[in-house]
Amino acid sequence: MSRKRAHKPVPAAPEPAGAPTPERLKRGDVEQPSERRSAYTARTPIGRLYVAGKITYGQDDAARQWRGDYEVGVLRVRDGASATQLGIRGPTNVSGINDFQADALGRWRSAMQAVGMIASQVLTLVVLQDHSPRFAATRTGRHHKTLDRILFAGLRDLESFYANTGSRRKAA
């Protein structure tokens, strides 16, 4: 016959470091936070670099613009519906893409030429494919510090490209 074991009571989770003790709470000299703050979680490597303060808002915005141009112009992911939502309408040309997509494709290609071949390879891995800079370093066969310098220089060039073309989105 098998015997059933008695369940042990689960101990309470320990209080986080710096949390007030129950005695101190009874005295009433500690204020409890009235609302819980939600933490911003960056989901992309560029977002994490921005949250960490390693890149500026302009560089983050330029990377998002470059990714948007890639999605619209090259992948045609956000073609008809999003262009209509943005209030952009244009005739479709012979190749089946509208003027909005053609402009995005042209901006994306011009941006790649502006940052250069090596930086565009790194930016493609980090911005478009969402790989970490460490993975991009292994993928390209470069030391991670060298890759970081290339990445930051590419983001600066991307920022100046979108600032000079005037196609950058306005800050909300």
**Torsion angle, alpha carbons of 135, 136, 141, 142, to 10:** -110
Express each pLDDT in 16-56 by its tens digit: 555 666 776 676 655 555 555 555 566 789 988 998 899 99
Residue 45 CA from chain centroid, whole number: 6
Mean per-residue pLDDT, 157-162: 95
How are the residues of the chain apportioned to helix, strand and coil, as percentages rounded to the nearest 5? Answer: 55, 0, 40
Left, alpha or beta for 144 (phi > 0: left; psi -120 to 50: alpha)?
alpha
Express each pLDDT in 90-137 by its tens digit: 544 445 667 888 888 999 999 999 999 999 999 999 999 999 999 999
Separation CA 77–CA 70 (nearest Å) = 9
Separation CA 123–CA 114 (nearest Å) = 12
Residues of 81-90 as b/e, b for ≥16 C-beta within 10 angstroms? Answer: eebeeeeeee
Separation CA 10–CA 24 (nearest Å) = 25
Q: How confident is the model at residue 142 (pLDDT cuts 50, 70, 90)?
A: very high
pLDDT of residue 73: 86
Hey, where are the domains in the chain? 45-165
Separation CA 152–CA 121 (nearest Å) = 13
Residue 86 CA from chain centroid, whole number: 21
pLDDT of residue 76: 80
